[in-house]
């Protein structure tokens, strides 16, 4: 195991990109051709060592230059080819107008340009090389004893360079087509994932509509028509049914807004008007609903100004955390006295929901079981998830007297994508 782990860093460090290998091969080839061109020009073509050195360096140096500056490399190599033809025209034995090393250098430059750049640049390199050799032959006409051989050399160079040009352009076009196919596949995969997400959202919306919204509609209808179906009901009982009907209608309104967001596209879902969740502005209505559920709720704003300004997202998260905490109290500690504290400092909004032990154990919370232990625990998990979405934290704790406490710390900083900050009027008591 240690041996395998020790080998991995070496294998990773030995990896070189294709561009790095291209530079290595180009520099090695350029150095090799330079080391061959200088002695060939000096001994075979009787060129002085200084111009031989300069012309060989100019032509072979254009090869690595073509990696970054193809036009300058083409001009340098073509100029060197023309100069070589002029300074070697008196040589009757060796190949003319281009020595073999110079011809190989020109072919390598054309191959490199055709593989790395647009086909028009590659064609320019081919035309410049052929034109340089033709001009060298025309300038040396009548002075060279091997004119027929020079023409044959020009034709051979043009043919080889043309073949290399065609092959390089075809390879380059294949790479371009392959890159376009990869981009199209990636776009298709992203579009498929987006369609899958939309279909899943629609499926969830249908489930919510079929299961939750339908049952809430039944509750609303039954509560609204109870006084007509059951004559002789007491005034307090009628008021209770009216409150149940109002709460169910409010729940259905929120459900419709949630379904609208689930069925909307990505562009529409960022519209603030489609946000279904209430904010801390609705705390008084939430407390009134909890009191109708049979618990005594006290709202206190301590250690903070009379108003808090938080972002829409933070306000929504705070409302949902308090709502879930009150729901747990109603389900698992009915009749328990509950205290909601809201405080703020320069960095965060602090919420606390503390309930005492219930006067009578509820059916959902037998004696000896805490509030957190009763039920499935999805509510507390949801509190933690909502707080993490806005960068906050939630802590839950059992009290010695049998009560329960939920405390949350949410950042006050408004989020740019969450709309304008809201003011939550909460007076100190």
Domains of the chain: 17-186 (no CATH), 278-425 (3.30.565.10)
Pairing type for strands 404-411 and 393-398 reads antiparallel
Please state the pTM of the whole predicted model: 0.44
Average pLDDT over residues 233-245: 84
Place of tokens 């000896």: 368
Whether pLDDT at 14 is above 50: no
Higher pLDDT, 150 or 324: 324
Instruction: Identify the band that residue 370 occupies on the pLDDT scale cut at 50, 70 and 90.
Output: very low
pLDDT, position 413: 62
Check residue 301 and give left, alpha or beta (phi > 0: left; psi -120 to 50: alpha): beta
pLDDT, position 406: 94
Kindly report whether the peptide bond that precedes residue 97 is cis, defined as omega within 30 degrees of 0: yes
Render pLDDT for 61-108 as a digit per residue (tens, 0 to 9). Answer: 888 998 889 899 899 888 888 888 888 877 656 777 888 888 899 999
Q: How many CA atoms lie within 13 A of 105 on its CB side?
A: 37
Any residues with CB less than 8 A from the CB of 382 and at least 6 apart, and which? 320, 324
DSSP code at position 414: P
Span of 75-84, 187-196, 361-370 with lowest mean pLDDT: 361-370
CA atoms of 244 and 242, how far apart (whole Å): 5
Instruction: Identify the band that residue 210 occupies on the pLDDT scale cut at 50, 70 and 90.
Output: low
Whether pLDDT at 174 is above 80: yes
pLDDT, position 243: 85
Place of tokens 């009749």: 335
Whether pLDDT at 42 is above 70: yes
Higher pLDDT, 228 or 307: 228
Collapsing DSSP to helix, strand or coil, 424 comes out as: strand
Cα pseudo-dihedral 34, 40, 43, 49, rounded to 10: -30
Average pLDDT over residues 331-348: 83
The H-or-E segment that residue 141 falls in is none
pLDDT, position 368: 43
pLDDT, position 8: 46
CA atoms of 152 and 287, how far apart (whole Å): 100
pLDDT, position 166: 92
Higher pLDDT, 130 or 248: 130
Phi then psi for 53, rounded to 5 degrees? Answer: -60, -45
Whether pLDDT at 424 is above 60: no
CA atoms of 297 and 338, how far apart (whole Å): 5
Check residue 46 and give left, alpha or beta (phi > 0: left; psi -120 to 50: alpha): left
pLDDT, position 355: 92
Render pLDDT for 97-156 as a digit per residue (tens, 0 to 9). Answer: 888 888 899 999 999 999 888 888 989 999 988 898 888 888 766 555 567 777 888 888
Any residues with CB less than 8 A from the CB of 89 and at least 6 apart, and which? 96, 97, 136, 139, 140, 143, 144
As a whole number of Å, the end-to-end CA separation of the chain is 66
Higher pLDDT, 99 or 304: 99
Any residues with CB less than 8 A from the CB of 421 and at least 6 apart, and which? 309, 310, 311, 312, 414
Q: How many CA atoms lie within 13 A of 362 on its CB side?
A: 19
Token duo for residue 186: 């990636």
Token duo for residue 412: 């006050």
Whether pLDDT at 234 is above 90: no
pLDDT, position 7: 45
Token duo for residue 187: 């776009």
Token duo for residue 227: 């006084």
Assess contact for 147 and 108: CB atoms under 8 A: no
Collapsing DSSP to helix, strand or coil, 298 comes out as: strand
Whether pLDDT at 421 is above 50: no
247: nearest Cα among 356, 186, 326: 326
Instruction: Identify the band that residue 353 occupies on the pLDDT scale cut at 50, 70 and 90.
Output: very high
pLDDT, position 211: 66
Average pLDDT over residues 339-344: 87
Determine what percent of the chain falls in helix, strand and coil, rounding each to the nearest 5: 65, 10, 25
Task: Give the Å distances, CA to CA, from 147 to 24, 54, 97, 135, 210.
Answer: 39, 26, 9, 13, 93
Render pLDDT for 195-208 as a digit per residue (tens, 0 to 9). Answer: 888 788 777 777 77
Instruction: Identify the band that residue 407 occupies on the pLDDT scale cut at 50, 70 and 90.
Output: very high
262: nearest Cα among 201, 207, 197, 209: 201
């Amino acid at each position: 195991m240690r041996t395998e782990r020790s080998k991995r860093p070496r294998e990773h460090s030995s990896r070189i990109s294709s561009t790095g290998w291209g530079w290595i091969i180009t520099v090695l080839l350029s150095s090799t051709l330079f080391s061959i061109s200088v002695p060939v020009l000096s001994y075979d073509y009787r060129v002085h060592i200084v111009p031989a050195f300069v012309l060989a360096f100019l032509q072979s140096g254009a090869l690595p230059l073509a990696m970054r500056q193809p036009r300058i490399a083409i001009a340098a190599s073509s100029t060197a080819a023309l100069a070589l033809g002029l300074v070697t025209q008196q040589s009757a034995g060796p190949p003319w107008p281009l020595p073999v090393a110079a011809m190989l250098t020109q072919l390598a430059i054309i191959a490199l340009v055709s593989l790395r750049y647009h086909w028009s640049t590659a064609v320019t390199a081919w035309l410049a090389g052929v034109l340089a050799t033709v001009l060298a032959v025309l300038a040396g006409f009548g002075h060279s004893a091997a004119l027929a051989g020079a023409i044959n050399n020009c034709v051979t160079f043009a043919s080889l360079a043309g073949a290399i040009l065609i092959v390089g352009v075809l390879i380059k076009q294949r790479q371009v087509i392959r890159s376009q196919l990869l981009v199209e596949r990636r776009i298709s995969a992203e579009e498929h994932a987006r369609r899958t997400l939309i279909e899943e959202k629609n499926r969830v919306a249908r489930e919510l509509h079929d299961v939750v919204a339908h049952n809430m509609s039944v509750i609303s209808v039954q509560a609204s028509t109870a006084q007509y179906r059951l004559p002789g009901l007491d005034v307090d009982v009628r008021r209770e049914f009216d409150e149940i009907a109002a709460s169910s209608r409010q729940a259905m309104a929120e459900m419709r807004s949630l379904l609208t967001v689930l069925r909307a596209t990505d562009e529409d879902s960022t519209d603030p008007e489609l946000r279904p969740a209430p904010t801390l502005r609705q705390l008084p209505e939430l407390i009134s609903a909890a009191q109708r559920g049979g618990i005594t709720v006290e709202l206190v704003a301590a250690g903070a100004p009379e108003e808090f300004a938080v972002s829409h997202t933070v306000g929504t998260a705070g409302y949902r955390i308090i709502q879930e905490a009150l729901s747990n109290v109603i389900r698992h500690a009915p009749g328990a006295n509950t205290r909601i504290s809201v405080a703020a400092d320069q960095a965060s909004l602090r919420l606390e929901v503390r309930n005492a032990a219930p006067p009578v154990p509820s059916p959902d919370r037998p004696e000896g079981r805490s509030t957190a232990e009763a039920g499935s625990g999805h509510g507390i998990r949801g509190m933690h998830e909502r707080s993490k979405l806005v960068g906050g934290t939630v802590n839950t704790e059992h009290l010695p007297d049998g009560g329960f406490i939920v405390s949350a710390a949410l950042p006050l900083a408004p989020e740019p994508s969450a709309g304008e900050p809201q003011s939550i009027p909460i007076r100190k008591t």
